A and B are shown apart, each in its own frame.
Chain A
Amino acid sequence: MFYREAGDFKTSYAADNQTFPIAFDRYRYYIVLLIGLGVIPFVITDYWANAILIPFLIYAIAAIGLNILTGYCGQVSLGTGGFMAVGAFTSYKLMTAFPGLDMVTITLLSGAMTAMVGVAFGLPSLRIKGFYLAVATLAAQFFLVWLFNKVPWFYNYSASGQISAPERTLFGIAVTGPNAEAWAKYLFCFAFVFVLAWIARNLTRGSIGRQWMAIRDMDIAAEIIGVNPLKAKLTAFAVSSFYVGISGALLFTVYLGAAEVGEAYGIIKSFLVLFMIIIGGLGSIFGAFAGAAFMVILPVALRNFFAGSLGWDPALATHFEFVIVGALIMFFLIVEPHGLARLWSLAKEKLRLWPFPH
């Protein structure tokens, strides 16, 4: 009834091409922004920030990044964890080497560094496809983790092999280190998510996005109409790794504070982000958010339910959590392979007609 395009006439191609063509969607988006910026920072607590909000925001960036590569350009990657580690270690080296550098620059430089590493590991994608490419990126994952473990220069020769983020401020307010407050960390991550999601949307609706999707859907036909496969694939790797690198940097500097590479950026991270985009929906920015929310909130919710409400032994609750998350992933793959984004768009289709059946 209220969710419809009828009567909302577009008079220019620019208007027809906007992200939320339906007025209701636009208002919903503004409301989400308003709550995200105007309400949450004032009511946020350490628990909410650390358990849900900050990991959600950080993983959303990684999921958008992987979705650009896998969902839009069709290149499977299992190296996400390794690329996140590149971002984390770049930011660590920059923070310790240049204490005066502000965090936004550091984070962006970490992304840029990861983009370069991503392009290097993306080169094989020109020759190999599908599963074989997945294996090649898996090699990147193991190689990078091994490298950061093996070369002490990366962790500044610390005895434990760990890296820990010193306190850094932005506009005089601490955003990293133990004294950073929840709302500051939240807003810092929120700003990155907002800008990066907007850029991702712009890229995917423009010429380069169509080139990525063309490569994904049929690479031979893409080449015949003039897509340079080398350029298209490598830009996808670069942009994707840029996002993943920023995510990895934020995960270390803002969220974890201290990290050991094998543990924080191991193969499990790669799978986690991959699950996020599969559950959320390949080839959809909304899907990246939905998947990140699902994978971050579900374990917390289950843990609270089992250990909190039912009073189970925490160890048992943790095992159950694994079982249920695993079962849900299988459920999604079988019942709705296109993920939450598809469910969402189906719901919107229905809503357009509601309350009529046709």
Chain B
Amino acid sequence: MLDSTEEGYVTADGRQIGGVVMEMRNITLRFGGVVAIKDISFDIREGEIRAIIGPNGAGKSSMLNVISGFYNPQEGEVIYRGSKRPQMRPFQVARQGIARTFQNIALFEGMTVLDNVMTGRLNHMKASLLDQAFWWGKAQREEVANRQKAEEIIDFLEIQHIRKTPVGRLPYGLKKRVELARALVSEPSILLLDEPMAGMNVEEKEDMSRFILDVNDEYGTTIVLIEHDMGVVMDLSDRVVVMDYGKKIGDGTPTEVRSNQEVIDAYLGVAHD
């Protein structure tokens, strides 16, 4: 196990990881009789890239949905920045600075890339309905200021050329990138990525990996990601949680997880004798 003291730890590549941002304490989530998550605890630290892996149906996406407020667990608690988080609707969680992308892209197809990204800024826009109706003072200033931030992210993710294109016309790989832009533009403290590389070819995966590392490096964003491509996970992440059938079977650095017998069994199967 890593030396994860209260102050954090230093990663293999020499980055300093801070204290705990979010802690999941004994989370249990049930749908009727089905137990999706069973008594799972782990923490997420400031500035790290935390991966959640596991075979299909292990409860990874459910875990992410608990973090982003879609599901409220029956038992256990989510500790965010030192205090217990009460039951919240997803939009309230978003306002606390937690952004996410979806496994199957959830963009606003009828809007342009720029509008999609600008929508991600809405928590930074406070002009009243009346200000907006007459487009005076505050509304206009705010629009321009936030446009600047949106353009910065558009620049960062290299999607300038499509900023006025309706999202519905874009190919899959670009849509994934636009979705990342929309999540990133809200300046989240934790960014949740649900299979950011699903259905991509090698080149697109490389691009996306680079963007994830750049985001973490440039903005210091804490990233929690779910991914099936083991190569990607092992290369990108600082610490990995392994889930199987709703239970946590491993937690630690990629190297530790890779040599964990339970994890190997879950992935490769084990002879029942």
Q: How many residues of chain B get a CB closer than 8 Å to chain A's CBs? A: 41
Contact: B99 with A225, CB < 8 Å? yes
**Is B144 a contact of A13 with CB atoms below 8 Å?**
yes
| Distance, CA A78 to CA B100, complexed state (A) | 36
Give the shortest distance, in Å, between B186 (CB) and chain A (any CB).
7
Q: How far is the CA of A214 from the CA of B183 in the complex (A)?
A: 14
A199 partner residues in chain B, CB cutoff 8 A: 133-134
Contacts of A203 in B (CB 8 A): 129, 132-133
Does residue B119 face the partner (Cβ distance < 8 Å to A)? yes
Contact A207 B127 (CB under 8 A): yes
Could you tell me if A14 and B106 are in contact, using CB atoms closer than 8 angstroms? no
| CB-CB nearest in chain B for A208 | B132
**A63 interface residue per 8 A CB criterion:** no
Task: Give the residues in chain A near B244, CB-CB below 8 Å.
Answer: none
Report if A213 contacts B (CB, 8 A): yes
A213: which B residues are within 8 A, CB to CB? 108, 110-111, 115, 119
Chain B residue nearest in CB terms to A215: B108
Q: Is B182 an interface residue (CB 8 A)?
A: yes
Inter-chain residue pair count (beta carbon < 8 A): 106
A128 vs chain B, min Cβ distance (A): 18
Inside 8 A of B100's CB, which chain A residues have their CB? Answer: 224
In angstroms, Cα B135 to Cα A202, docked, is: 6
Q: Is the CB of B115 within 8 A of A226?
A: no
Residue of A nearest to B110 (CB): A217
The main secondary structure of chain B at its interface with chain A is: helix
B183 neighbours in A (Cβ, 8 Å): 225
Chain A residues with CB under 8 A of B127: 206-207
Q: Which residues of B contact A239 (CB under 8 A)?
A: 129
From A211, A224, A235, give the contact of B94 (CB < 8 A): A224
Q: Is the CB of A223 within 8 A of B115?
A: no
Are A14 and B144 neighbours in the complex by a CB distance under 8 Å?
yes
Q: Tell me whether B140 and A14 are in contact (CB under 8 A).
A: yes
Tell me if B49 is interfacial: C-beta within 8 Å of chain A: no
Q: In chain B, residues 60-94, which have Cβ atoms closer than 8 Å to a Cβ of chain A? A: 68, 70, 89-91, 94
| A221 touches B (CB below 8 Å) | yes
Cross-chain contact of A225 among B111, B134, B148, B186 (Cβ < 8 A):
B186
- Distance from A204 Cβ to chain B, minimum over Cβ atoms (Å): 10
Residue B143 lies at the interface, judged by CB distance under 8 Å to chain A: yes
| Contact with A223, one of B90, B99, B102, B147 (Cβ below 8 angstroms) | B90
**Which residue from chain B places its CB closest to the CB of A200 in the assembled complex?**
B133
Is B118 on the interface with A (CB-CB < 8 A)?
yes
* Chain A residue nearest to B135 in the complex (CB): A202
Residue of B nearest to A19 (CB): B135
A224: chain B residues at CB < 8 Å are: 68, 70, 90-91, 94, 100, 102, 106
Instruction: Specify the chain A residue showing the minimal Cβ separation from B146.
Output: A207
Which of B108, B120, B183 has the most CB atoms of chain A within a 10 A radius of its CB?
B108
Is B107 close to A, CB under 8 A?
yes
Q: How far is B134's CA from A206's CA once the two chains are assembled, in angstroms?
A: 11
Inter-chain CA distance A299–B6, complex, in Å, is 77
Report chain A residues within 8 Å CB of B89.
Answer: 223
CA A226 to CA B93, docked complex, whole Å: 8
Closest B residue to A12 using CB positions = B144
Residues of chain B within 8 A of A39, CB atoms compared: none
Determine if B109 is an interface residue (Cβ-Cβ < 8 Å).
yes
B125 → chain A closest CB, angstroms: 4
Q: Is B139 interfacial (CB 8 A cutoff)?
A: yes
The reply to whether B132 and A216 form a contact with Cβ atoms under 8 Å apart is no
**Contact: B107 with A221, CB < 8 Å?**
yes
Closest residue on chain A to residue B97 by CB atoms: A226
B147 contacts A17, C-beta separation under 8 Å: yes
CB of B15 within 8 Å of the partner chain: no
CA distance A221 to B103 in the complex (A): 12
Q: Which of B150-195 contact A (CB under 8 A)?
A: 151, 182-183, 186
Instruction: Find chain A residues with CB under 8 A from B111 CB.
Output: 210, 213-214, 217
Which residue, A17, A202, A210, A213, has most C-beta atoms of chain B within 10 A?
A: A210
**A226-B139 contact in complex given A12-B144, A208-B132, A217-B108, C-beta closer than 8 Å:** no
Chain B residue at minimum C-beta to C-beta distance from A16: B147
A105 within 8 A of B: no
| In the assembled complex, B255 has its CB within 8 A of some CB on chain A | no
Q: Chain A's nearest CB lies how many Å from the CB of B80?
A: 16
Contacts of B120 in A (CB 8 A): 225
Q: Show 18 residue pairs from A and B whose CB-CB distance is below 8 angstroms, ordered by the A residue.
A: A13-B148, A199-B133, A202-B133, A202-B139, A203-B129, A203-B133, A207-B127, A208-B129, A211-B122, A216-B110, A218-B109, A223-B94, A224-B70, A224-B94, A225-B99, A225-B182, A226-B123, A228-B91
